[in-house]
Amino acid sequence: MADDESHGLFGGVFARGPVAVDDNAWLQAMLDAEAGLARALERAGLAPAGSGEAVTAAARAADFEPGELGALAALTGNPVPGLARALARRVPQAAAGAVHRGATSQDIVDTAAMLLARRVIDGVLADLARAADAAAGLAGTHRSTIMIGRTLLQQAVPVTFGLVAAGWLTSIDEARQGLAAVSSGRLAVQFGGAAGTLASLGEAGQRVAALLAEELGLALPVLPWHTDRLRIIDVAAALARAAAALGKVARDVTLLAQSEIGEVHEGAADAGAPAQQAAASIPGAPGAPGAPGPAGPRRGGSSAMPHKHNPVAAIAILGCTRQAPGLLATLVASAEQELQRAAGAWHAEWEPLACLLRLTGSAASWAAELLSGLTVDGSRMAANLAATKDLPLAEHVASLLAGVLGGAQAHDMVAEAAQRAVSAGLPLRDVLLAVPKLENRLASAGITAEQIESALEPAGYLGAADAFITAALEAHQSLEGSWTTPSALRGG
């Protein structure tokens, strides 16, 4: 969990990822960019020997005060000028000239954004891999666990929970591939100087840019991208795709975990331990030394209703993922930037991008826990399916009759039987087999009671569900077999 933000009021929900996206993380990424530049300048012969090492040693976020740099940012519109001055004061005089040489503020902030995105994406990919493996396990285990399918939130036809989990698996794996592609190919160094020409470095500009990219393990773009924000959009879109995949999983869980449905439940949470430890440190809190009441808070509990067991992980995921579309929209809107450097649109990117990184990281962390501990109640699924009184198999019966009665007449006949069944509170099979008018029509069509009984068996109307599950599992196994982490592709 991101240590600094996890102590904030909402950090336990929205900053749960393994990589922090806070002021210190941004500050360290900017310092890493400055240090990489100093090393590149030294390698290019534009800074004295030892400059790179000196600047790198001084580039520690813990030694700087974000609040002071933020106050100075009010004078210049961004924190980099104050940071560069503070960093130069912390290195030997001989190395001071290597700090920020040839760069403009946007070079440092954009490069820092790429470094921060890489770190977060690596963490997200690790959690998504855990979530995907858990979804694959659910798909394989429950490939024959039959449940009612629901379309437009109404009962439809039978499906299997294995197919539901296979759908989750496929979307998570596709999100992983998208994030990996962005991480390995679209995270590029930014180094263009005042207006994208690197004029202050003369003929050495391109060489320093290449060395800087090498030092930081980022791609070298064809030219500076100060007002070409497609890389930012690509990062944001890949994050939003992952958020969308996780939001789908979480929404399904909240629906299936409703008291009236009760087909899945969140399992015991590893994350409960930190929460209980935190509560134990608050004097007078339940579980604290000398405090009355139970030891520690209960996961999923309500402040008002003692009986509640809320699906906290799924709810937290949705709390994160619901914010992603608006953040993506802001970043896309900010891509319209003027001439060589933007007046405000660039500044508008910083917080939405940081929020999107943080929220996606948190959602992925929650999802790994959710799917790893999800409890599936197959008996409840069977009971809910039985409670439909055969109505979800009406389509199957109609298809059986269509061959002898024609599609329209078969549909109308079964619709009439279904209406009678609902009105009388009877199973569909009782109406089809007991109403003389319908029974006679079935007999005249050569349809036997045994055929009707067979058509009303859920296990006989699952179509390609099993084959689809197999395909999803094979695709997942193939992905795992060929998977190369973005860090490996970068040589990191």
Q: Residue 447: give its domain's CATH number.
A: 1.10.40
CA atoms of 23 and 120, how far apart (whole Å): 14
* DSSP secondary structure letter of residue 445: T
Per-residue pLDDT tens digits for 327-378:
999 999 999 999 999 999 999 999 999 999 999 999 999 999 999 999 999 9
Residues 329 and 402 in one domain: no
- Local confidence band at 450 (pLDDT 50, 70, 90 cut-offs): confident
- Give catalytic status of residue 302 as yes or no: yes
Q: Name the band, by pLDDT with cuts 50, 70 and 90, for residue 45.
A: very high
Does 404 lie in the same domain as 257? no
| Contacts of 272 by beta carbon, 8 Å cutoff, 6+ apart | 296, 297, 299
Q: Is residue 481 part of a domain?
A: no
Which of 380, 404, 427 is the last residue before a domain boundary?
380
Do 259 and 408 lie in a common domain?
no
> Do 35 and 88 touch, CB atoms closer than 8 A?
no
User: What 3-state class would DSSP assign to 463?
Assistant: coil
Q: Are residues 316 and 451 part of one domain?
A: no
Has 341 been annotated as catalytic?
Answer: yes
407 φ/ψ angles, rounded to the nearest 5 degrees: -60, -50
In a domain, 297, yes or no: no
Looking at per-residue pLDDT, the higher value among 294 and 163 belongs to 163
Which residues form the domain of 446? 391-455
Residue 299: which pLDDT band, with cuts at 50, 70 and 90? low
pLDDT on residue 280: 46
pLDDT at 303: 53
CATH code of residue 112: 1.20.200.10
Q: Which of 346, 380, 414 is the last residue of a domain?
A: 380
Contact present, 32 and 59 (Cβ < 8 Å): yes
Amino acid code (one letter) for 408: A
* 315 vs 413: CA distance, rounded Å: 43
Query: Which are the contacts of 364, defined by CB distance < 8 A and separation ≥ 6?
Result: 17, 123, 124, 127, 128, 131, 242, 246
Which residues are within 8 A (CB) of 448 and not within 5 positions of it... i.e. 6 or more apart? none
User: How much is the pLDDT for 48?
Assistant: 95
Strand (E) or helix (H) holding 376? strand 375-376
Catalytic residue (one of 60, 200, 281, 302)? 302
Query: Quick one: 88 and 125 in the same domain?
Result: yes
Report pLDDT digits (tens) over 149-173. 999 999 999 999 999 999 999 999 9
Contacts of 121 (CB under 8 A, 6+ apart): 179, 182, 183, 235, 238, 239, 486
pLDDT > 90? residue 138 = yes
Q: How far apart are CA 83 and CA 24, in angstroms?
A: 13
Percent of the residues in the chain that have a pLDDT greater than 90, as a whole number: 76
Which residue, chain included where needed, has tokens 């991480």? 183
- Point out the least confidently predicted range of 13-17, 216-220, 318-322, 371-375: 13-17
Question: What does the pLDDT look like over 102-112, one tens digit per residue?
Answer: 999 999 999 99
Whether residue 13 is predicted with pLDDT greater than 80 in this model: the reply is: yes
End position of a domain, from candidates 343, 360, 380? 380
Beta bridge partners of 320: none
Q: Which two tokens stand for residue 296?
A: 């520690």
Q: How far apart are CA 49 and CA 148, in angstroms?
A: 71
The pTM score is 0.89
**396 and 254 in a common domain:** no
Residues in a beta bridge with 160 = 146
The span from the CA of 407 to the CA of 403, in Å, is 7
Neighbouring residues of 447: CB distance < 8 A, sequence distance ≥ 6? 400, 401, 404
The verdict on 87 and 194 lying in the same domain is yes
Q: Is the pLDDT of residue 81 over 70?
A: yes
pLDDT score of 7 = 60
- The answer to whether residues 74 and 219 belong to one domain is yes
**Same domain, yes or no, for 75 and 99?**
yes
Same-domain pairing of 330 and 448 = no
303 domain residue, yes or no: no
Regarding whether 98 and 17 lie in a shared domain, the answer is yes
271 in a structural domain: no
List 341, 380, 420, 441, catalytic entry: 341
Total number of domains in the chain: 2
296 belongs to a structural domain: no
Across 115-268, the runs of DSSP E, i.e. the strands, are 146-151, 154-160, 264-265
The mean pLDDT value of the chain amounts to 89
Least confident of 47-51, 62-66, 371-375, 432-436: 432-436
480 within a domain of the structure (yes/no):
no
114 confidence band (pLDDT: 50, 70, 90): very high
- Do the domain assignments include residue 300? no
Residues 317 and 439 both lie in one domain: no
Q: Would 386 be classed as within a structural domain?
A: no
Q: Residue 106, CB half-sphere, CA atoms under 13 Å: how many?
A: 24
Q: For residues 119 and 29, what is the distance between their CA atoms, to the nearest angstrom?
A: 10
Give the pLDDT score at 403.
Answer: 77
Instruction: Supply the DSSP string of 266-309, one letter for each residue.
Output: ----TTHHHHHHHHHTSTTSTTSTT--SSSSPPTT--SS-TT--
